[in-house]
Every structure is written in structure tokens, then in C-alpha cells.
Structure 1
Amino acid sequence: MPSMDLESSTGLDSFHYTLSTPTDANAEATAEGTPTLVLIHPIVLASEIFHPIYADPRLRRFNLLTMDLRGHGLTSAGADDTYGPETAARDVLNLMDALKVRAAHVMGLSYGSCVALQMTISAPERVLSLFILSPLPLTEPPEIIAGRNEIWDCWMDAFSDPQNVDTLALADMLTGGMQLGWNNRETNLGKVLVTNAIPHAIRNWAPQNFDLFQAVTMKFYMNRIPHSVESLARIRCPVAIVHCSEDIAYPIHHAEELLNLMLCAGIDAQLVSIEDAPHCGNITHFEE
């Protein structure tokens, strides 16, 4: 999985990505004449959360492209207080430019749904279809912001003495994340994803990078501006909104609100619900 230096709002930054084609699991260029699917990950867990897609022969027929967003995985790009979906969307589009991907089908999960939606608004000619799984509400509910603040506090407590990191505080933070992600359900993939994410998070969000941690986990949500019907009307492609019925943070009415706005904007949009699935339903209900 290589990295690429891209010109961005913060200068020349290094972004880690994975590109697979039908014949090459770690390709440097897309297979010509083959559709490309761009996958945008949620918070904390980076591109590896899409492992089931890369392992599915039905989907390996296509070019599959993922990128670790700022402050995640192996990407080393920084972020300032203005970081939000617009910057993240431009990062993904810059990577598509560098790989000569003119247009793609785009899937965004949770946090990544904001990025995918912004791409579709900012550059509608670049997105052939939009699939957003567990999309975030137009504005973040106060109780969810409070929960994210608790996670922030746990992380800060864990590093109050950088020479003796409090692993119990880290465990509290990860428990909160798993409660949101998959309702604490035990899955082998979930365990591996958490184990893999810990060293990346410690490296990316260590005390010297607390500003980056705050930018990508807190400011990102605060800098979101609710989309209007007028802005959504820029979307030209079909949209699938997928809600997971056991999502403990975001009830279906949030997805319904987004759907109604899209329909008012004249978009070919539909809403589908996956029964018994938690927020990151692709971990527990991949087939569905």
C-alpha cells in the first residue's frame, strides 16, 4: 500500500492509499475500461475497514481505491482548525487526479459519508453514483457531541503522563468507539480492526499531535455546514442512502431528513434499511 505526495490546502502532503485492480491487489494504475469504486472510511478506523470488499470476488472485478484521510492510518498529512468535509473531499479528488481517475462510483461510511457527499456536490461530474452507509445527520446532535467530548477526555487522560500511557483510559475510549461502531458485538474482523487501529492512533494522536487529533475528531464535525436543497441540486448521479436499524447514535429519521431534501432537489435517491445492523453494518452484515 503506497503513499503519494499531493498538493493540498496545507502544502505538499503524503497520503497513504490502496489501489486494487482485477489482476493486481496492489496496483499503481487503474485497469483501463474498468469501473472504479472509491471507498471513504469512518473515523478512527482507516481504509482497512473495507477489507470485506477487497476480499469479495464480486467486487474485485473493479478498480477499488481507498485513501487514509488526514490523521488516520498511515497518512502523514496535517490538519488545522478549518478542517472539514470540503478539505477531505478535495484530498480524495486530488488523489483521483493523480491516478488519472476521471470519474468513479463513491461509497462513504459514517464520517466518510460527509466526504463522499461533499465530493458529489463540489465535483458532480466526478461521481457516477453515491452510496452512503450510516450517513451522519445534517447537523450533529448535542448528545453525540457530548459523547465525542468524553472520548476526547479519555484520550487526553491516557496521555497525561506521556512516559506512562494509561492503557485503561485508552480502553475506555475504544469501548465508546465500539459501542457506536458495532454495539460491542464480538466479531473476529472487529477485533482485528481495533488491534490494528491502536498503534496508528497512538502515533497520529500522540501529545505532539493533539491539535491534529482535535481537528480530525472534533473540529471536523463542528465545521460541517448543513446542506441546502440548492447545494444538493448540484448532484447529478443516483444516490443510495443505507441506514442500519440498530444504529444507537443516529435513528433513521436523520437519514429520512436527508432523503427528503434530496428528493426536493430532484435527485434520484432511495433509502434502504439493513435490519439488526449496527452503525458500521459492513462489519457485521457485509452480505446485506
Structure 2
Amino acid sequence: MSTFINGGQVLANGIRQHYLRFGGKGPTVILVPGITSPAITWGFVAEVFGQQFDTWVLDARGRGLSSSGEDLDYGTESCADDINAFAGAMGLTQYHLIGHSMGARFIMRAAVKQPEGVLSLSLIDPPVSGPGRRPYPGQWPWYQDSIREAQQGMDAEAMKKYCPSWTEEQRQLRAEWLPTCYEPAIRQAYDDFHQLDIHHCFHQLPAKTLLMVAGKGGVILPEDEAEIRELLPTIAITHVEQAGHMIPWDDFPGFFAAFGTFLGAPLQAEAQP
């Protein structure tokens, strides 16, 4: 039985923000996906969170059905402000923040800028690149080429060269929604991975924090974990050993098992839908 409630739009931080809501009961979760993942592509994950949480999945600006176009600022600070403004506009006063990749960097900044009401942060394999640091392992042409090809029209079979391990349904969904990813917005986020160092945020985080590491992602290495633990000794670090960077796609049950009881109760998903 689906936990999906509805999708909607709200004016917050001066832009239209689109969201999907699941569950509607229990503690509140705000989930911010990664660099080229509109909210709908995380629906299969949100369905599980919706079993126990009032779950809101956001389209970051320049993606999905949220505001887009050349007149917007797509930098990390503006996107962090969007999250805080969304919570205010929807009357969400206490919430868990969950962010994947780019979304993890956004929720870190959002929590530092507006700590009130943040119950916890779950950082799912965030890029730890930055000035003078190891580059982010994802290469820009992969993003650019897939977006441009999707804009011309592609199907699940064509998407296989970019996401070979995904199911046909997942590839079809990505092919359908990737054209909503505004290339300059994606480029700004990608550049921020390398130009903005998020490490200074760790010691400022206002609530308990979980770092989830993809064992095969190559994004976070043991030396990165050691540095982060020095910056935030209380951080909980968990691993999904058989997953790449897109953890729920690679190990769906393992993704939820990795939370343990961090959010207050264990999450369970038997198999990927």
C-alpha cells in the first residue's frame, strides 16, 4: 500500500518550490536529493520513510517542477536558504534533515544557518571535495551528455549506458525527468563541489549527525572519515559496503538498515520495488 499523499507547490525564498509528501504521520523528515535527481526519482525511497514519518521530498531549484531559468542563483547558499524557507512556509517546526550527495551539503548549510527545529542530519555520501582536495570522482561529461541526450528524447534502453545497473523502471523515470534538470544549475552545483569546502560546517552542526558511506562509491575514503570524526567526534558513521554512490539503487534494504535506530526506530525494506 502506497504512503504517497500528494505533490504540491509553495512560494518560499522567492521561488516556486515543488515537493512530494509521503506518510503524513509521525516525526517530520525533509529529504533533499542529489545533483540530477528530481524528487520523483526518490519516490521509491520516500515510500519507506512514509511508513513511519511525515516525509517531504524537495525538488531543488533548477530541477523537477521547482523554479528554473537563467535569472536564478544556483549556489549552495541559495539552495540552503530554500530548505529553511520551505520549512517555514509549510509550518514545519521540528524535522529530521536527510540529504543525498549534493543534498547533504545543502542540508548542512541549512542547519548551520537556521539550527532551530533541526532534530538530526543524515548525510548520505556527501562530496568531500573542495579547494586543494581530491576531486569529486564523478566526471562532468557524464552529467552534461546525459542531460543533453535526455532533452532530445530518450528511453530506458538509451539510459542504460549512463545507469547500467538500474532497473528498466528506474531508467525510464530518469529518462523522463532528467530534461527538467537545468544544465547551468547542475554545473553550478558541480563546480561548488570543487570550489566550496564543507568541512568547516561539521563542528557547527546543531544536532546529532549520521554519515552514511557508500563502500564502492569512491566519494568518501577512510582518510576522509578520520578527518570528519576529528571535526565532529560525536558523528555516527555507517557503511553500505556493496553500494556505489547511488546507495538505495544499489542496495535498497542495506540503505535503510544503515540508519539503524538513528531516527528513533529502525527502517525496514525487504526488497526494491
Assess same fold via TM > 0.5: yes
Q: Deviations over 1:101-155 (max 9, x none)?
A: 012111111111101111221112231111111121142633636x11x235535
Match of 1:227 in 2: 199
Q: Deviations over 1:256-282 (max 9, x none)?
A: 32232212xxxx212111121111112
Are residues 234 and 88 of structure 1, via their aligned partners in 2, closer, same or farther at CA, if it must alter by over 3 Å? same
Q: Deviations over 1:145-168 (max 9, x none)?
A: 6x11x2355358759xx9xx4869
Match of 2:66 among 75, 95, 108: 75
* 1:68-147 superposed matches below 5 A: 68-78=59-69, 83-139=74-130, 141-142=134-135, 144=137, 147=139
Match of 1:46 in 2: 38
1:37 aligns with 2:29: yes
Are residues 44 and 90 of structure 1, via their aligned partners in 2, closer, same or farther at CA, if it must alter by over 3 Å? same
Match of 2:10 among 4, 19, 39: 4
Aligned-residue offset at 1:283: 2.0
* 1:240-251 superposed matches below 5 A: 240-251=210-221
SS at match of 1:124: coil
Are residues 257 and 84 of structure 1, via their aligned partners in 2, closer, same or farther at CA, if it must alter by over 3 Å? farther
Q: Deviations over 1:219-247 (max 9, x none)?
A: 4434523332xx43332211111111111
Q: Report percent identity of matched pairs.
A: 17
- Kept after mapping to 1: 8 A contact 2:243/2:251: yes
1:238 aligns with 2:208: yes
Q: Deviations over 1:7-36 (max 9, x none)?
A: x3xxx32111012334xxxxxxxx5xx310
**Higher RCO (CA-CA < 8 Å; seq separation 6+):** 1
Q: Which runs of 5+ in 1 are unaligned?
A: 23-30, 179-183
Match of 1:262 in 2: 232
1:272 aligns with 2:238: yes
Are residues 171 and 248 of structure 1, via their aligned partners in 2, closer, same or farther at CA, if it must alter by over 3 Å? farther
Q: Deviations over 1:28-68 (max 9, x none)?
A: xxx5xx31011110121222343334333x74232111110
Q: Which protein has the larger Cα radius of gyration, Structure 1 or Structure 2? A: 1
Match of 1:282 among 237, 244, 248: 248
Match of 1:19 in 2: 21
- Kept after mapping to 1: 8 A contact 2:129/2:135: no
User: Partner letter of residue 174 of structure 2?
Assistant: A
SS at match of 2:236: strand
User: Partner letter of residue 169 of structure 2?
Assistant: V
Figure out how many residues of one structure are paired with residues of the other and give that number: 245
TM, length-normalised to structure 1: 0.72
Q: Alignment RMSD, CA only?
A: 3.1
User: Partner letter of residue 2 of structure 1?
Assistant: G
User: Partner letter of residue 188 of structure 2?
Assistant: A
Match of 1:211 in 2: 184
TM, length-normalised to structure 2: 0.76
Are residues 82 and 220 of structure 1, via their aligned partners in 2, closer, same or farther at CA, if it must alter by over 3 Å? farther
Are residues 198 and 133 of structure 1, via their aligned partners in 2, closer, same or farther at CA, if it must alter by over 3 Å? same
Are residues 73 and 193 of structure 1, via their aligned partners in 2, closer, same or farther at CA, if it must alter by over 3 Å? farther
Q: Which runs of 5+ in 2 are unaligned?
A: 1-6, 255-273
Are residues 204 and 47 of structure 1, via their aligned partners in 2, closer, same or farther at CA, if it must alter by over 3 Å? closer
Aligned-residue offset at 1:98: 0.8
SS at match of 1:93: helix
Q: Distance in 1 between matches of 2:93 and 2:99?
A: 18
Match of 2:262 in 1: none
User: Partner letter of residue 21 of structure 1?
Assistant: G
